[in-house]
């Protein structure tokens, strides 16, 4: 933040900013406490005025006269933060193939269509305004992306990565009948990556470690294959994620220049000191997916151990200044409520660091400079929380309203 920004926020927090103009068509969030960004002082009894999908005015209630005709959300007693990112989701559940969805696809609004209901249950009611789909059928996800972008389905901005697997590395948990793109050589990986870039996908996801089942060795992707795909994506300025699975999967990914580890690796104990140092040096980001580890075994003690190992890995990397991005693998897992993930993350991070993982970290990492902060001229992607996350991090899951590009895409009012 530059001096000008700091001065502006100071003036607003002291109520010295000029009385702002509000027009009748504006959406106004009045009376809440705004946390503009992690580490930035809160604005109490604030007003946020949204116009044309952007934050037009932010200040103290007493300085902003709101016309009666403006749409006002009463945020008294509530907390306003920037819209959340979930940097690891999937649109793969059967529920996304809804026969009723034809009404939506035909361009009619359909509030009861499963796609609409499901987008809400899985994502918008938890505050997500931007998500990364790390591997689904690209054609399907692109069609959801289109329906959301054309306002047929209220939803988050969807970014999509295309997957590449190692040869004979069809993970045991993915349906056997689906043919997966497996690369045996760097040339094949390069071709697949180019294909995804031609489809205008937003990134690539590699399985540098594929889980083949209990007592079977993990199939890893060679570094040369990793690098071939990474080079194609990076030439287009696009990021590469990996599902690492084990140490070799982490090491080959790092050696090949991958940008984001899409999971922790709790079956492997800890990251090594060399891995942590290399991650830091290469500015690699880490997505915890801690709740996922409660779903991979029915043994409760084993679940606890896996979660704790994941927590320790997040802590180890964050304590060295490594970038953490919030992500849950929702859509693969069916626990939609984010409270559990937040609680686990709270064992490794402060509430402010968790806010960063949901907002400023992904916005900076994925170069979305108009997102991640509640400031004038930023995108009006906002979450209104019922409780203060500084008091209890699970309050990040208690969402009263989700606003994306100035439109309310989730409202808890009148709903359970």
| 23-31, 96-104, 140-148, 328-336 -> range binding Zn ion (CB under 5 A) | 328-336
Q: From CA 234, how far away is CA 362, in angstroms rounded?
A: 17
- Least separation in angstroms between residue 357's CB and Zn ion is 17
Contacts to Zn ion from residues 2-61, by CB under 5 A: none
- Least separation in angstroms between residue 295's CB and Zn ion is 12
In 3D space, the residue among 372, 386, 381, 373 whose CA is nearest the CA of residue 403 turns out to be 381
Contacts to Zn ion from residues 330-349, by CB under 5 A: 332
Closer of 163 and 360 to Zn ion (Cβ)? 163
| 13-21, 325-333, 350-358, 362-370 -> range binding Zn ion (CB under 5 A) | 325-333
Q: Which residue is nearest to Zn ion (CB)?
A: 329
As given in the structure block, the two tokens for residue 105 are 């696809």
Give CA angle at 409 (388, 397), nearest 5°. 30
Closer of 278 and 295 to Zn ion (Cβ)? 295
Total residues binding Zn ion (CB under 5 A): 2
- x/- site string to Zn ion, residues 251 to 280, per CB under 5 A? ------------------------------
Q: From CA 61, how far away is CA 46, in angstroms rounded?
A: 5
Q: From CA 59, how far away is CA 34, in angstroms rounded?
A: 10
Closer of 326 and 332 to Zn ion (Cβ)? 332
Closer of 132 and 351 to Zn ion (Cβ)? 132
- Least separation in angstroms between residue 329's CB and Zn ion is 4
In the chain, count of helices (H) and strands (E)? 12, 19
Q: Within a 10 A sphere around the Cβ of 394, how many other Cβ atoms?
A: 17
Closer of 133 and 222 to Zn ion (Cβ)? 133
As given in the structure block, the two tokens for residue 19 are 């009385």
3-state secondary structure of 89: strand
Q: From CA 295, how far away is CA 247, in angstroms rounded?
A: 21
- Least separation in angstroms between residue 176's CB and Zn ion is 18
Contacts to Zn ion from residues 207-236, by CB under 5 A: none
Closer of 40 and 161 to Zn ion (Cβ)? 161
Closer of 131 and 279 to Zn ion (Cβ)? 131
- Least separation in angstroms between residue 347's CB and Zn ion is 22
Q: From CA 184, how far away is CA 165, in angstroms rounded?
A: 9
The per-residue b/e assignment along 327-354, b for 16 or more CB within 10 angstroms, e otherwise, is: bbbbbbbeebebbbbbbbbbebbebebb
Contact between 133 and Zn ion per CB under 5 A: no
- Least separation in angstroms between residue 144's CB and Zn ion is 17
By the 10 Å C-beta count (0-12 exposed, 13-18 middle, 19+ buried), 300 is classed as exposed
| Residue located via tokens 């880490």 | 286
Closer of 3 and 178 to Zn ion (Cβ)? 178
- Least separation in angstroms between residue 311's CB and Zn ion is 19
Q: Which of 202, 329, 353, 379 binds Zn ion (CB under 5 A)?
A: 329
- Least separation in angstroms between residue 387's CB and Zn ion is 29
- Least separation in angstroms between residue 24's CB and Zn ion is 45
Closer of 91 and 332 to Zn ion (Cβ)? 332
| 143-151, 170-178, 221-229, 329-337 -> range binding Zn ion (CB under 5 A) | 329-337
Which segments within 157-291 are labelled E, that is strand?
Answer: 157-166, 182-183, 203-207, 209-210, 219-220, 240-243, 260-261, 285-286
Nearest 5°: phi and psi at 181? -75, 105
The residues binding Zn ion (CB under 5 A) are 329, 332
């Amino acid at each position: 933040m530059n001096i000008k920004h700091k001065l502006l926020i100071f003036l607003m927090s002291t109520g010295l900013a000029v009385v702002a103009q509000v027009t009748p068509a504006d959406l106004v969030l009045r009376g809440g406490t705004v946390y503009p960004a992690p580490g930035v002082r809160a604005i109490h009894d604030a007003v946020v005025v949204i116009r044309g999908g952007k934050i037009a005015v932010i200040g103290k209630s007493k300085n902003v006269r709101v016309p009666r005709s403006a749409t006002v959300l009463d945020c008294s007693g509530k907390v306003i933060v920037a819209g959340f990112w979930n940097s690891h989701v999937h649109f793969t559940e059967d529920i996304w193939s809804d026969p009723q969805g034809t009404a939506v696809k035909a361009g009619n609004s359909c509030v009861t269509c499963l796609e609409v209901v499901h987008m809400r249950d899985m994502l918008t009611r938890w505050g997500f305004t931007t998500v990364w789909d790390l591997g689904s059928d690209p054609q399907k996800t692109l069609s959801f992306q289109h329906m959301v972008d054309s306002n047929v389905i209220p939803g988050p901005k969807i970014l999509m990565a295309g997957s590449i697997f190692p040869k004979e590395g069809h993970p045991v948990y993915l349906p056997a009948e689906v043919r997966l793109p497996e690369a045996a050589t760097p040339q094949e990986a390069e071709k697949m990556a180019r294909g995804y870039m031609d489809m205008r996908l937003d990134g690539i996801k590699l399985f540098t470690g594929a889980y083949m089942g209990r007592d079977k060795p993990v199939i890893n992707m060679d570094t040369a294959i990793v690098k071939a795909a990474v080079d194609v994506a990076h030439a287009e300025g696009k990021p590469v994620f990996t599902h690492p699975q084990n140490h070799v999967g982490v090491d080959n990914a790092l050696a090949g220049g991958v940008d984001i580890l899409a999971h922790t690796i709790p079956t492997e104990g800890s990251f090594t000191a060399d891995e942590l140092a290399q991650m830091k040096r290469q500015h690699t980001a880490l997505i915890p997916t801690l709740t996922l580890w409660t779903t991979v075994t029915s043994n409760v003690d084993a679940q606890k151990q896996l979660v704790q190992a994941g927590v320790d890995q997040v802590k180890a990397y964050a304590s060295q200044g490594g970038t953490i991005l919030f992500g849950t693998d929702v859509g693969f897992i069916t626990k939609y409520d984010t409270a559990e993930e937040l609680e686990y993350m709270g064992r490794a991070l402060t509430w402010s660091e968790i806010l960063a993982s949901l907002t400023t970290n992904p916005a900076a990492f994925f170069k979305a400079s108009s997102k991640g902060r509640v400031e004038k001229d930023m995108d009006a992607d906002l979450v209104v929380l019922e409780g203060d996350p500084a008091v209890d991090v699970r309050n990040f899951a208690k969402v009263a309203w989700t606003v994306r590009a100035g439109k309310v895409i989730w409202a808890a009012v009148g709903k359970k």
